[in-house]
Structure 1
Amino acid sequence: MPTLILITAAFLGGASNALAGGGTFLVFPALLWAGVAPVKANAMCSLVLLPGVFTSTWVYRDWVRKVEPPLLLRMSAASLVGSAIGAVLLMTTSNATFSDLVPWLLLLAATVFTASPKLREVAERSRAGESTAALLIGQTIISIYGGYFGAGMGVLMVGLYLIASQLDLSASTGLRMISTSVVNTLAVAIFAWRGALDYTVGMPMLVAGVAGGFLGAKAVKRLDSRHARLAILIYAWGLTAWFFVRKFISLWK
């Protein structure tokens, strides 16, 4: 039964990321429910959802082509630096400490996910001209968060690009696809190097995530993603509230 639930969560997480985002809200708690330690569950979540990132990048490849190669290289370099820092920080965080952080990380992710349409709108109105320094610093900071936890990272990246560059929304989305691919790939490589991945559980989930991501990507241009996004939002806030309630109950014991 736990294996079936984990595979289902991975499939839905992959599809969710392709359609509207929020796959972490499905995969991460499923791994915790199955008894995986918090730090390892977070690392496993990155592994399981990685194929969906590549699938989405392929779907939006025309938007990726709008980004000039020099900018792509600079942002990829900043992504590598930030991802390495974030992933190493996660590997040095105890399970007890990370468990204390989980409700707050979920709250941050749920807030970013909820506010994403408004954030994009505000970012497009707040263009300050291109600033290479702001782009590199912002990209590094967001990538540190991405290597450490990552939910909502893509929304933050698009906001940064819209404010600090001359890219339009489609080109910003294309650059975000490449940047998140770089961040997640390096983070997973570091987690593997540190022995934080359970392949017995991870490989079936990885296959399910690929299938979900593929079907979600096929459907993304034909379905109204607003309904999927609304369902994920309701679930994300319910999950966040549950983690806070559980934390407060444990403090009273």
Structure 2
Amino acid sequence: MDALILQLLHHSWLPAGSFLAGVLNSIAGGGSFLSLPALFASAAGAGAVAIQATNTVALWPGQLTGLVAFRKELREYKRELLPLGIAAGLGGWVGGQLLLRTKNHMFLKLLPWLLLFAAVMFVLSFPLGRWMKTLNGGERHTKLLMIGMVLVSVYVGYFGAGGGFLVMALFGVCGVHDIHEMNALKVLTAAVSIGIPAISFIAAGRVQWYFCFEMAILAALGGFIGAHYSRLINQALMRRTVAAIGFMTSAYFFMQNYAMHPVR
């Protein structure tokens, strides 16, 4: 009986993680904190870079469905949408190419540090945004936003987890402070900065399609539902929850690395 329960939990981890990842990505970011460890558990023999590439492709539809739900908020930024999209696409492409050139063992070593960085940035992003708001008086700095978007999108294309937090901090620095508009612009730029490298990963044959289709459908559903109900969710509680998940996921991969390469 216990073995059956464990087997059911193992098989339900990936679909549940994918759906919740879509929800988190459309609300606050951090979906990969859930989907990535679930995918590592389900596709352990695929190679770390292929797993990361699969996770990127699978979560992309969730960004697109979230984009549909946020279309009203995006109307306030018609002039900035194309330049923002180009900046996000350029950075995302560079990040994707860097991932394809990374060895599996190197990515495994980097993984817990990348997750820890993402979790720390999530904790710091909103205080940083509020502090910068007092410095710039709410003035919007479009040129700084475009340059920053290229740099942040390199990270998004390479790893993705925590990229939404960096984008939110960037918006705060550059004078965008309405939480719903920030979420809408975050989903828009993520759709591009994730979509461009996703195409590169598909072309390079690094996607594990057996897992990707299931994840993509559930992440898209979660993304739409999360974006639709984001206005009803307690943002402070959601931020604390995502931060806790991020630190726990980072700790999990640190322990995995230690188990494989113990310090002697």
TM-score (norm 1): 0.89
Unpaired runs of at least 5, structure 2:
1-6
Counterparts of 1:82 and 1:140 in 2: how far apart (Å)? 4
2:30/2:164 contact within 8 Å kept: no
1:11 to partner: Cα distance: 1.3
Return 40-49 or 186-195, whichever deviates more. 40-49
1:181 to 191, 203, 206: 191
Is structure 2 residue 124 aligned with structure 1 residue 126? no
Matches of 1:32 and 1:242, distance apart in 2: 12
Which deviates further from its counterpart, 25-34 or 172-181? 172-181
Whether the 8 Å CA contact 2:129–2:170 is kept in 1: the answer is no
Deviations 1:74-100, CA, capped at 9 Å, x for gaps: 221111111111001000100011011
Letter in 2 for 1:240: S
Residue correspondences, number? 251
**3-state secondary structure, aligned to 1:104:** helix
Q: Would the alpha carbon gap of residues 15 and 172 (structure 1) be closer, same or farther in structure 2, given more than 3 Å must change?
A: closer
Residue by residue over 1:94-151, the C-alpha shift from the partner in whole angstroms, topping out at 9 and shown as x without a partner, is 0011011001100111111222321221232232855554333211111100100122
Q: 1:167 offset after TM fit, Å?
A: 3.9
1:64–1:177 Cα contact (<8 Å) kept: no
1-structure distance, mates of 2:167, 2:25: 16
Aligned to 2:24: 16
User: In structure 1, which of residues 4, 10, 13 is the aligned counterpart of residue 12 of structure 2?
Assistant: 4
- For 1:27, the equivalent position in structure 2 comes to 35
| 74-83 or 214-223: bigger deviation | 214-223
Aligned to 2:86: 77
Distance 1:64 1:138 in 2: 19
Identity of aligned residues (%): 29
Once the two structures are superposed, the pairs formed by residues 116-195 of structure 1 within 5 Å of their partners are 116-127=125-136, 131-164=141-174, 166-169=175-178, 170-195=180-205
- TM-score, normalised with respect to structure 2: 0.85
Unaligned runs of 5+ in 1: none
The 2-side partners of 1:230 and 1:15 are apart by: 15
Matching residue of 2:58? 48
SS in structure 1 opposite 2:132? helix
